[in-house]
Amino acid sequence: MIKNYPEDVWTKQICFYLDVSSFVHKTNPADQARAPATRVWRKRNEGLKQGCTSKGKKVGSGGKVAHFMVSISYGKGVYFCEQFEKMNGPYFSDFIKRRFRKLFRGSCNPSGKMFVQDGNPSQDSAAARKEMKKLGVEVHSIPPRSPDINPIENVFHLLDRKLRIEAVEQNITNESYKEFEG
């Protein structure tokens, strides 16, 4: 749970923010980018509750989805990105074993052990918690998709916007999944 910490905790003591983002491959990205945006209207009893924010899923027309594990650190920006197929407890546990030492060393606080992630159940699995404990990691979990307290969500928003603008400006009307990944 997030506590009221002084600003330097968020900018100097927290080593990195870690999150997953997914992007849907669209065979005709320019067409999709030009389409008018839509809103999902909810019934009164389906609204968001206080303290909870949400954004829509990146699903819809298109094809395969590309998933990325991304890490940002204060003063460094995005300094790690890895594509993966499926997020689950075993994958994230293995990710911790393979990458966490390097993520901490490359962060704004190389000697620290504190990071922030959202409340993804796969990332909070028993196997993942066991690996974090072995490394002496202090994790701060925050509500999923909370751009107000998780700056990495803002990075994803900017990237999504850049991809839409690029699709229109370059008139990308046909793109293979391989081209999309690159």
73 in a structural domain: yes
Say how many Å lie between the first and final Cα of the chain, rounded. Answer: 37
* Paired tokens of 126: 């028993």
Pairing of strands 65-73, 77-84: antiparallel
At CA 62, angle to CA 66 and CA 67, rounded to 5?
10
pLDDT digits (tens, 9 = 90+) for 137-147: 999 887 766 66
pLDDT digits (tens, 9 = 90+) for 13-34: 899 999 888 887 777 878 877 8
DSSP assigned state of 84:
E
Domain count for the chain: 1
55 in a structural domain: no
Residue 117's domain is classified under what CATH number? 3.30.420.10
38 in a structural domain: no
Give the strand order in the sheet containing 114-118. 77-84, 65-73, 14-24, 114-118, 138-142
* Residue 124: pLDDT over 50: yes
Task: Read off the pTM.
Answer: 0.73
For residue 20, give its domain range. 11-28+60-181
